[in-house]
Chain A
Amino acid sequence: MSELLKISGLRVGAEDKEILHGVDLTINEGETHVIMGPNGAGKSTLGAAIMGSPEYSITGGSLIFGGEDITAETPDKRAKRGIFLSFQNPVEIPGITLSSFLRSAYEQVTGERIKLFAFKKKLQEAMEILQMNPEYADRELNVGFSGGEKKKAEILQLLVLRPKLAILDETDSGLDVDAVKTVSAGIKAYREQTGGSLLIITHNTKILEALTVDRTHIIADGRIAAEGGAELIDEVTANGFDKYVSGGSL
């Protein structure tokens, strides 16, 4: 299996404060990785840094994607290479419909024009998987969407854009049981349709049930504190993160 993303010695800071103190992590094509860890450990920061968020600055180390150094690239370039981040709190953008936004994004990412009718069809198919009301296509992007609807709209974009690597940042948080099932079905569909890789940041094991996890990483205090296979998930679920946090348990 060939290497898709190689993170080496990554240091990331925000507002003069370092959050990640040298993270190494490699994801191969088609693999599913899970990141767990206590609140404030730097999990979301890692996802944001891979996407190129302007809120964080990379102060050391590198990001290699598909063999190329993307450490200094803008988010749109990274997206065109096939990186996708499902946001924990997607922004509301008034005036632009979900459909026209996603069509623009599709054309940018694929580099090809698509006729309105053909695009609508593609969109409807994806919406069916997520049991979304087709009317959402013509609503303004995320405006007035509930928490669950926003998460579904993120997965909808994942299904339409078909990236090589999807980072899901707490996509399951704040969702009820049914919504978690729907979102999981969407993630499974993405895996089946594209064979793409997944990096799942989560607190919750429900969303992982339908997936085969290749590798688990525990992040604590801005470092990878432990790594293992799927079995590590059960271990932390049972025992918590205490032993990974500096200063031991409280």
Chain B
Amino acid sequence: MSGLNILPLPTFARLGVNFVERDAAFETEKISVPAGTERQIIQFVETDSETSVTIAENAKLKLVQVFTGRCASVLKTAVADNAQFGLIQLYLGGDTVSEIITGLNGYKAAFAASIGYDLGAVGALDLNLVVNHYGRKSTSEITANGVLRGNAQKTFKGTIDFKNGASGSKGSEKEDVILLDESVVNKTVPVILCAEEDVEGSHGATIGRIDEKHIYYMRSRGIPEDKIYEMITCARLARLIGRIGDEEAKKRIYSILGWGDEDE
């Protein structure tokens, strides 16, 4: 089978989460961040692309990727001793198959991923994120926050794999999904694989409606229900966008989202 986004450990076939069938013609790109340096890269990904990243010792990379169209993307990253990889990804509609494979190869290699999505009324997303902890005391922290509306469909597979020898490592994964309409389909598969005793791993997911207590609290201050949903869903993306340190990119994202100025 010519599958993309293959789940590292397959599960019940009927759930349809083990792989995705998709033909893709990848353009490849290589990024390397030399030892001791820092880089920030912002990409608007619109075509099939495969990116290989190496982050050398004591280097830092902050990578921002924004997806809007129909495309397949593979991002493979190798993180060396004391290097840090910060990834922000936004999925704003389209039909995306996205794979993120990060090798925490070095001692104290660190990976922080923040993923946000609002796919609009017809969007689709299949996300397969795999973190391989090889290095001792390596750390990973993955958060995904999203909103599904209309007929949007999303699969988020997140795997933290503690390899034998990755002692002292920590990994955490958290997904929070708000479902707004009855015909959305959400699939969440948070996997932890572990072959090392001295590690700490956790994952959590909350899927569904906005907490009733939040709604009551906000309503008791006079805000009607539809406005509450709008505020909370916008807040999720706004929080992520706020962390992109580039005003031009922010403006471009706001215009994709159809938001006005930040103040309004």
Contact = CB atoms under 8 A, between A and B. Distances in A.
B220 A79 contact: yes
A107 B223 CA distance: 9
B259 interface: no
A161 B238 CA distance: 26
Nearest to A74: B219
A196 to B, nearest CB: 15
B238 A95 contact: yes
Interface stretch (A20-28, A49-57, A208-216): A49-57
B219 A75 contact: yes
Interface in B178-236: 211-214, 216-225, 227, 231-232, 235-236
Interface string A90-126: 1101111000111011001100000010000000000
A51 to B, nearest CB: 5
Of the candidates B218, B238, B263, the one having the most CB atoms from chain A within 10 angstroms of its own CB is: B218
Contact of B223 (A85, A87, A94, A108): A108
Tell me what chain B mostly uses at the interface: helix, strand, loop, or mixed: helix
Contact of B222 (A94, A96, A100, A105): A105
Contacts of A102: 221
A80 B222 contact: yes
Contact of B235 (A74, A80, A95): A95
Interface size class of B (residues with CB under 8 A): 20 to 34
A157 interface: yes
A68 interface: no
A69 interface: no
A154 B217 CA distance: 11
B223 to A, nearest CB: 5
Nearest to A53: B216
Contact of B221 (A52, A74, A116, A157): A157
A82 to B, nearest CB: 10
A76 interface: yes
Nearest to A102: B221
Nearest to B176: A94
Contacts of A78: 220
B222 A79 contact: yes
Contacts of A75: 216, 219-220
Contact of A79 (B211, B214, B219, B238): B219
Nearest to A117: B263
Contacts of B222: 76, 79-80, 105, 108-109, 161
A51 B215 CA distance: 13
B239 interface: yes
A101 B218 contact: yes
Contacts of B227: 104, 108
Nearest to B220: A75
Given A75-B216, A101-B231, 5 more contacts: A52-B219, A76-B224, A87-B220, A108-B221, A108-B222
Interface of B: 211-214, 216-225, 227, 231-232, 235-236, 238-239, 263
29 contacts: A53-B216, A55-B216, A74-B219, A75-B220, A76-B220, A76-B221, A79-B219, A80-B222, A84-B221, A85-B220, A90-B217, A91-B213, A93-B232, A94-B235, A94-B239, A95-B235, A95-B236, A96-B232, A96-B235, A104-B223, A104-B231, A105-B218, A105-B223, A108-B224, A108-B227, A109-B222, A116-B263, A161-B221, A161-B222
